[in-house]
Amino acid sequence: MRREALIPQVVQVTDIRRDTPDVKTFRVVDLDGRKPFLHIPGQCAMLSMPGVGEALFSITSSPTNEDYLEFSIKKCGCVTDWLHAIEPGQQVTLRGPYGNGFPVDTDFAGKDLVFVAGGIGLAPLRSVINYVRCYRDRYGTVDIVYGSRSKADLVDYQEILDEWCSEPGISVHLTIDNPQPDWDGHVGFVPNFVKELGFDTGKTVVMCGPPIMIKFTLAGLMEQGFPRDQIYTTLELRMKCGLGRCGRCNIGDKYVCKDGPVFRLDQLDQLPDEY
């Protein structure tokens, strides 16, 4: 372990974008105006403010972005309330990157990929999706299924419309839970939509979202005959150190912060049912 891995660096928030009523995306650089560190899609980092607290967030920007890191953060408690109240120019502290990330250059290479996200679960997948878009010829077909409660709750909606939807070879399937007047797209829950879309069972599925969405989407994929070693998801437990030191996030002999948060379904099958 690098000794400095636990020591946060001071970074500056240069841009804050409101994505949904309770999600904002924060852009950060170091005090020299550069990207604070390199990462792999799916890795996380701890953002903190002395006297307020510290919390772990997925890095939502792609590693292919060389200028800054971005975090999409849902307002739900002490640290996130404070972050939602700050203005660009505010300094915060940051440590990371932590976790294993998605196997974008190994297991995913050459595969047809299906991304399934719900709500703020798009945050870690946006990093992978934009990485895959940048190295498009290394992957097969790409499908993105993304759902939220309402149109206003779709994170990164403008980027999805302007960039993802117009890209050849990428199919975007959006859904919202209930009908609304300014929405002519699909209506219904993500697990049912995934079933309706009926993807080929040879594709690799990458999922992130609320536990209930994961549970029912998985059940549907199993019914359809997807092999468990072709399904990847992320686990979200409460964490403290982020690098396998404090024992806060262990499941059996694995630390979610260090051995995860990305796991293949057949790897999760080996763990005690404590998550």
CB of 124 to ligand FAD, least distance (A): 6
Instruction: Tell which one of 248, 264, 267, 275 touches ligand FES (CB under 6 A).
Output: 248
**Using rule CB under 6 A, residue 58 touches ligand FAD:** yes
Burial of residue 2 (CB within 10 Å: 0-12, 13-18, 19+) is exposed
If phi > 0 it is left, if psi is from -120 to 50 it is alpha, else beta; for residue 188 that is left
User: In angstroms, what is the minimal distance from the CB of 234 to ligand FAD?
Assistant: 6
Could you say which residues in the range 230-259 bind ligand FAD, by CB under 6 A? 236-239
- Report if residue 249 touches ligand FES, rule: CB under 6 A: yes
Residue from the set 117, 120, 155, 190 that interacts with ligand FAD by CB under 6 A:
120
Pairing of strands 254-255, 9-20: unpaired
Q: Between 31 and 52, whose beta carbon lies closer to ligand FAD?
A: 52
Beta carbons of 133 and 63 less than 8 angstroms apart? no
Cα angle 240, 104, 226; round to 5: 95
**259 within 8 A of 100, measured Cβ to Cβ:** yes
44 binds, among ligand FES, ligand FAD, none (CB under 5 to 8 A by kind): ligand FAD
SS3 2: coil
**Which of 5-13, 29-37, 158-166, 238-246 is the region at the interface with ligand FES (rule: CB under 6 A)?**
238-246
Q: From the CB of 19, what's the least distance to ligand FAD, in Å?
A: 11
